[in-house]
Chains A and B, each alone.
Chain A
Amino acid sequence: MEQKHYRPRLEILQGTLDMLILQTLQWGPQHGYAIGQTIRTDSAESLQIETGSLYPALHRLEKQGWVKSDWGTTEQNQRAKFYRLTPKGKKQLLHERDRWTQLVAAMATILNPKRSRS
């Protein structure tokens, strides 16, 4: 699918969720439930990913070609759809992390200005 249909509605929030998912998948294929759980535990329970956002986001990433999905079974023998990062997705993750770092730095400069008067 062409790139041009990728139109996040709430840029920062959505972009962040996408980045979080990509980051989570960096360590290996995961199914949707596990991704949600991982983000929750990794953020010390402070980030609760709603399933209503998670699945659309996963499908969106898949459509962009950043992740790929396959059906498999979990350790508990539950059939589930596993998502894994594609090379393109890895690049995207690096790109988004850069942007995030820049954003954080910029925000920090604005929110905590160095009160240096000359």
Chain B
Amino acid sequence: MGFVSWLFRRRAIDRDLDAEIRAHFEMAVADRIAAGEDPQSARLAAINEFGNVLQTKEAARHVWRGGAVAVIADLWQDVRFGARMVVKNPAFSLVVIAVLSLGIAGNAAIFSLFKGLALKPVSGVRDSSRMSVALGRTADGRNVGLSLPDYRYIKEHNQAFEDLTGSSMIFANVGLGADSERIVAELVTGNYFQGLGVGAQLGRTLGPADDVAPGQHPVAVISDSLWRSSFGADPAVIGKTLHLNGTPLTIVGVADPAFNGTMVSMGVDVFAPIMMQPQLSPPSRLDSYGIFMMTTMGRLKPGVSNQNASAQIAVLASQLDAEHPINKFTRRHAVVPIWQSPFGAQTYLLPAIAMLGGMGVLILLVVCANVANLVLVRGVARRGELAVRLALGASRGRLLRLLFVENMVLAIPGALIGVALASFLLPFFAVGASSSAPSRMYLDTSIDAYVLLFAIALAGACAIVFGFVPALRTSRVELTSALSDVSPRTASRGWLRSMLVVSQVAASLVLLISAGLVLRSYAAAVKADGGFDATNVTSVAVDLQTAGYDQPRGSVILTRLLDALGSEPAIESASLATNVPMSLVDGASRATTIEGYAPRSDEDMLFLFNIVAPEYFRTLRIPLLAGRDFSRTDDASGQPAVIINETMARRFWESPENAIGKRIRSGESEWRSIVGVAKDVKYSRLSEPPRSFIYYPLLQTYAPAITIHARAAGDVNHAMRRVRDHMQAIDPAIPITRSVTLREQTRVALSVYQLSAGALTMFGVMTILLAAIGIYGVVAYTVQQSTQEIGIRMAIGARRVDVAWNFLGRGATLAATGAIIGLAIAVSLSGALSSLLYGVGTRDVVSFAGGTALVMGIALMASFFPAWKASKTDPLTALRHQ
């Protein structure tokens, strides 16, 4: 029977029972009177005979309670009692809830990031965390996508996936001319929408019928976000034309609002058939086995593990190697769960989040220690009450449950407020990451059932930790002593509280040191140049293809642009490039052959590259170690030239000088002579290891989407305006898709540091405050407990200073003990941070010393106030007290 109906029935049972017992009583009295007793004594005797009416009723009533209903009824009673206690001690309750909600807020914020990355990586797709990704690996373990033919073969022949969808991400321009907008698009296979289970809110999705003949399916599905921003949520958008990289596509549908594509953290705005790839991002790669452009995704069949799937795919890969060998490349296909997929933000954000999660646990411990302290103090005050409960026959288990429920009554509001706080904190966390992102950042960090459940579970765990430790002590009260003696002296339990304070100091020191390390990394990273000088350089992106230029006409425009910028007085030097350094994600790589070099069969000969115009190295101030910069003569009429970086030169030719004049070629293209060797720079991230890199001359290898780097002679913003003016003058129809300084542009590589530094600082400040409250509490409590002792000491001649020193010393001892433990932990843990550090060692003295000084200073301050108060004790009052 349900709980509510039981509540109603309980009334009826009570009334029935009352009547029954009254009847019994009346009959007993009547019998006695009939036997000759006088009414007065008959009543008394009957009452006597009956015994404890309340107990009888309670026992009879208890019969009707069973199982869950009884438990719920008791719980309900406890909850009501707990709520009454909350209201009775508003100060205590508010402090506990406040402290708890702070701790939960930080954790919930991190958790919702984690949820966005790992639990719901692909928004709008059911159970997306259980998806797997089939990918390729290079000889040195770098993850790459699959080629379209490989993907098709694997999709047809594997027995592991329910369905395997594929897509290729491109940056593209939507619209025409100067009004166009740079977005991320996915070129998708015919089973993409069905396989993912994503529908259209308007029109239709793309299907197998859109995946038949190359170039024959000029259709697109747009995102909800693009529909709202560019089409004003017009319901008549279906059938309209959208220009993607200059190619007209007919809009056939608007995707489900929750769906943002399969690139984790990237908001994809246009979905077009993969068969349109030759038109949208030429040249055609539909039939190349050596171009790994496809990202795949699918659910594994029931009972198939990622290992099984990997083994299957490996077999298919060796079949492919036999039938369609790729020059100097052995396929190493594998299947990994989506959270390990390299295609998205999880690769670089998850380690940071794992670290923050660890810190979150630490902060939670501090919170629990703090609350436990408060509960402990209250536990002392409630010893009398609990002893009475025990005396009245409450079992120890029942008592523990009461205390647990009471704590939950505090914990749940703490969790809810914490989650609310987290939703305020999240933008603060994410802003660093998104403001500098290359495209619309999309992560589902919304507060949903996952986050709420997590927060409540966390609060429950806290309630157990902070509630049970003290409660176990309290419930162990001995009846007689607790009832007879309520002297606080016997109840001080000093060591437990001190231990809690020590652990708080230790935890906050660990957090502060970590925060210090990451903050200093961030500071170093902001100042770091990554091997090039980004100050006063523009990063203005333009796209010729959208404006309808083909290669011959586009090349003319590029030359005119270089001429115009070369004669502009506001600009010291200028160049063009297809890739911007330190843009967080690796660009494309090309399989490359080196003349006279026989690679090992499994050697990774795929190299990252950039295509740059003359004066690139001068403009970015990247030193050339040998040879020369590209010049205007490295054009279609000149000898094929190429510039490589130092790492590559040393790998194949021992020294930069030796490399000059040697020849390499990408794929089956023509041989190019090395004309220069440039010093390494950070191509994607500050933390990347040195790697080989190739620069191709733009005037020989045309690319339509380029970034203008101009080094300003004076003000960089003025230079940027001039760059835009020149562009307008050349052709106003050419869209400027981005116009920022290179300094701003490279900030994206700092987003991880920014995120961790922000969160850790916040955590550090929070914990040090909590620890201060803890120390203050312990010292103040000791002072209060020792009033009498202080009085006696002063009466026999102790000076006020001695008294103050005594208590200050107690605080300092606690803080120092905590600090030593904290230092030890920090030293042993800081290695785990190394992946997030830049430019500081894991044993950075400044962070360690600074953190320790801060913690000790605050701890001393926190104990100073109660110590000072102790010294103000009036011996007479103190002795009269008690």
Contacts and interface: CB of A to CB of B under 8 A. Distances in A.
Interface of A: 1-2, 5, 31-34, 37, 50-52, 55-56, 58-60, 63, 71, 74, 76, 78-81
Contacts of A59: 60, 63-64
B472 interface: no
B381 interface: no
A55 B21 contact: yes
Given A5-B67, A51-B51, A76-B30, A56 B62 contact: yes
B27 interface: yes
B747 to A, nearest CB: 66
Contacts of B59: 52, 55-56
B23 A81 contact: yes
A51 B27 CA distance: 13
Contacts of A80: 20, 23-24, 27
A81 B16 contact: yes
A33 B64 contact: no
Given A1-B66, A32-B20, A60-B63, A52 B27 contact: no
Interface of B: 16-17, 19-21, 23-24, 26-28, 30-31, 49-52, 55-57, 59-60, 62-64, 66-67
A50 B64 CA distance: 20
A88 to B, nearest CB: 17
A33 B62 contact: no
A51 B24 contact: yes
A80 B19 CA distance: 8
A25 to B, nearest CB: 16
22 contacts: A1-B66, A5-B66, A5-B67, A31-B24, A33-B24, A33-B28, A50-B51, A51-B49, A51-B56, A52-B56, A55-B20, A56-B56, A56-B59, A59-B63, A63-B66, A71-B19, A76-B27, A78-B27, A79-B23, A80-B23, A80-B24, A81-B20
Which are the 7 A-B pairs with shortest beta-carbon distances?
A5-B66, A56-B59, A59-B63, A33-B27, A80-B23, A33-B24, A55-B60
Contacts of A34: 27
Contacts of B66: 1-2, 5, 63
Contacts, number: 67
Nearest to B49: A51
Contacts of B57: 55
B63 A63 contact: yes
Nearest to A48: B49
Contact of B56 (A5, A37, A55, A78): A55
A55 B64 CA distance: 12
Classify the interface of chain A: helix, strand, loop or mixed: helix
A78 B26 contact: yes
A78 B19 CA distance: 11
A81 B51 contact: no
B783 to A, nearest CB: 51
A5 B16 CA distance: 22
A36 to B, nearest CB: 8
A66 to B, nearest CB: 13
Contact of A56 (B23, B26, B60, B67): B60
A32 B24 CA distance: 7
A51 B50 contact: yes
Nearest to B21: A55
A117 to B, nearest CB: 51
Nearest to B57: A55
Nearest to B62: A56
Given A55-B56, A63-B66, 11 more contacts: A5-B66, A5-B67, A33-B24, A37-B31, A52-B51, A52-B55, A55-B21, A55-B57, A76-B27, A80-B20, A81-B19
Contacts of A31: 23-24, 27
A1 B6 CA distance: 13
B9 to A, nearest CB: 12
A80 B31 CA distance: 15
A93 to B, nearest CB: 19
Nearest to B1: A1
A78 B23 contact: yes
Contacts of B30: 76, 78
A52 B23 contact: no
A117 B26 CA distance: 61
Contacts of B16: 81
A76 B30 CA distance: 9
Contacts of A58: 60
B52 A52 contact: yes
A58 B26 CA distance: 19
B724 to A, nearest CB: 81
Nearest to B24: A33
Contacts of B24: 31-33, 51, 55, 80
Nearest to A1: B66
Nearest to B59: A56
Given A51-B56, A79-B19, A81-B16, A56 B63 contact: yes
A59 B64 CA distance: 8
Contacts of B28: 33
B795 to A, nearest CB: 59
